[in-house]
Structure formats: structure tokens, C-alpha cells
Amino acid sequence: MDLIYRPRRLRRTASLRSMIQENTLSASDFIYPLFVHEGKDVQPIGAMPGINRWSLDSLLKEAERAWNLGIKCVVLFPKISESLKTEDGVECFNEKGLIPRAIRLLKKELPEMTVMTDVALDPYSSDGHDGIVSSEGVVLNDETIVNLCKQALVQAQSGADLIGPSDMMDGRVGAIREALDDEGFEHVGIISYTAKYSSAYYGPFREALDSAPKALNAKPIPKDKSTYQMNPANAREARIEAHLDEQEGADILMVKPGLAYMDIIYRLKQESDLPIAAYNVSGEYSMIKAAAAKSWIDEKAVVLETLLSFKRAGADLILTYHACDAAQWVRDV
């Protein structure tokens, strides 16, 4: 064949392929989610093979393991006792609560590790929603933000580096930024769950925290989070959310879930100069682990291909439960 250009020329050898590779993975791309509980034991999470709820002592050891693999950031999620859950979720801003103590421990013993937090009421709510639910079954926006600001302040006071509002209340980024600045925490960043979709991929996470919506009394409780999390059918709406979060003072924009929303990652990367994070969520993790357990896929190859696809779509950072395995694999390449 009389061909002037043959793209395969640059695929011929491993060294040629490496020379022109457009995207790469490194351990510093990853943010490692860690579940923490009040117990003394390490509790495996059935729906997420290889992932545990950590006691405070074991949390430190796991964070140290991640740091030694080159991971620079962890994000903390609490499993709260049912006895501490209330309709208004006020345990979220208890200065002596689980997450403030976990932050202080990590910053004392591993000060260079970036500690990210989660700001939302669902782990602390007896109703299982990210906001306060009215007697009529409406998730209240502005009333919820009052408690979210208090939660963010307690986390900042405890030493958090990045505050992660995951609640999807309107205006919460601006309110939290103002609250932090007013109390002298201008240096604390906000990594906003900007485009967080009302997704079926969150099931294993809700098992890990026991945070699914539930009705315990006569009050009507919304069965899902679709009145505040985004409709999976919508893409343009993500641009609106990103524009608002950027105006309100977000430092990093996040898309959640990641794998089914690559187009959203790409759109936000084109729209904003802020760093973009992708959350490789629990359902995505568990599907890979389940298929790997059946020997239907090569786990290492699929994980690294998945994480690389987030980078190709435009993500600068990836929250992933595969973080430690992936950090080891990219180091061994």
C-alpha cells in the first residue's frame, strides 16, 4: 500500500510508545478514602473487598502505609454510632467527635500528609440524608448550611487541609468559605463535590457508613437524594454548578461518580482552570473486585486502565479505593 503516514510506526516498540505517551499515573495523583470507627478493631467491609473500617490506632498505620507508597492525601469518612445520630446531625460539629480526633492524630503523627474531610450530615443523621429533613419530608437547604459551616470550622480547627462539601446544598461553598475566612482559616482549601450525581453506584459506600436514607418514625423521608444530588441525565447542569462553586471560592472541583461521568470530567476541564478531581466510587471499585475474584478480568490491568482514563478525560486528582495497590503498581513499572 502506498501510505505516507502510518500511525503504527510510533507503536512499534515499548520505548517509542513511552516517548509519546500523553498521560501518566503517579501515586501523588491519588486521594485515598479511609473509613474510621470508634472501635478497637479493624472491620472488613463486606461489599468492598480489601477495604476496612479503621480504629484510630490502625488508621494511623494505614495512612503511614499510604504515605510510604507516595500517596500525599487521605480523605476521612466516619462510621457513627446510632446512639449519636439525630435529625439535625449535630454530632458533626462535636469538637471531641470521631473525625476531629482522627484529624488531630494524623496531623500530629504524619504532619506532611494532606488531610481532606467530608462535610455533610448523612453519617450523623438519623434520617440518612445529607441535610436536615423537615416534618413534611423536605430536605432543608439554608438550615442545613448553618450546621455544615459549624462542621467545617471544627474540622479546620482540628487541622484539616482540605474541606470537602459533599452535601450538594445550594450556596454551601460560599457560606463555608466565608465562615472559614472569618475565623482565620484562609489557608484551608475547599475541594467541592461540584457535580455529584444521584447515582446507583454508591451502594457499597452506604453499607460502609450505614448512611442510607431510612424512616424511623412517622415523618416522611425521601427514599433517595434526587432533590439535591444531580440528575444522571444532565450534563449542562454540571457547568452551572461548576461556575457557581468557582464564584463562591472553591479551590478544586470534583465529579462523582467518575467512570460513568467521563464526559462531565472533560466538560469541566474545558470550562475551568481549577484542578478537577474524579471520585472512583465504591460501586466502581466493587465491580472490579468482584470480576477479578471470578478471574474474569486482570485486576491490575483494569485498575490502571480505569485510573488512566480519568487522567485522559481531564482529571488532575483521583479519589480511589485502589490507591495503595495502584501506587505500588505504578512504582513497579
Q: State the CATH number of the domain containing residue 289.
A: 3.20.20.70
Using pLDDT thresholds of 50, 70 and 90, give the confidence band for residue 331. confident
Using pLDDT thresholds of 50, 70 and 90, give the confidence band for residue 216. low
Which residue segment(s) compose the domain that 30 sits in? 24-332
332 pLDDT higher than 90: no
Which of left, alpha, beta for 222 (phi over 0: left; psi -120 to 50: alpha)? Answer: beta
User: In this structure, is residue 297 part of a structural domain?
Assistant: yes
Give Cα 282 to chain centroid, integer Å: 10
| Alpha-carbon gap, residue 121 to 310, rounded angstroms | 28
Catalytic residue among 196, 269, 289, 311: 196
User: In this structure, is residue 323 part of a structural domain?
Assistant: yes
User: In this structure, is residue 38 part of a structural domain?
Assistant: yes
pTM: 0.94
| Alpha-carbon gap, residue 279 to 130, rounded angstroms | 18
Which segment of 8-17, 65-74, 215-224, 293-302 scores lowest on mean pLDDT?
A: 215-224
User: In this structure, is residue 209 part of a structural domain?
Assistant: yes
Tens digit of pLDDT for each residue in 223-237? 899 999 999 999 999
Catalytic residue among 85, 256, 289, 311: 256
User: In this structure, is residue 136 part of a structural domain?
Assistant: yes
Is 256 an active-site residue? yes
User: In this structure, is residue 119 part of a structural domain?
Assistant: yes
Tens digit of pLDDT for each residue in 66-82? 999 999 999 999 999 99
Using pLDDT thresholds of 50, 70 and 90, give the confidence band for residue 142. very high
- The pLDDT score that the predictor gives to residue 333 is 63
User: In this structure, is residue 17 part of a structural domain?
Assistant: no
What average pLDDT does the structure give for the chain?
95
User: In this structure, is residue 12 part of a structural domain?
Assistant: no
Structural domains in the chain (count): 1
Residue type, 93: F
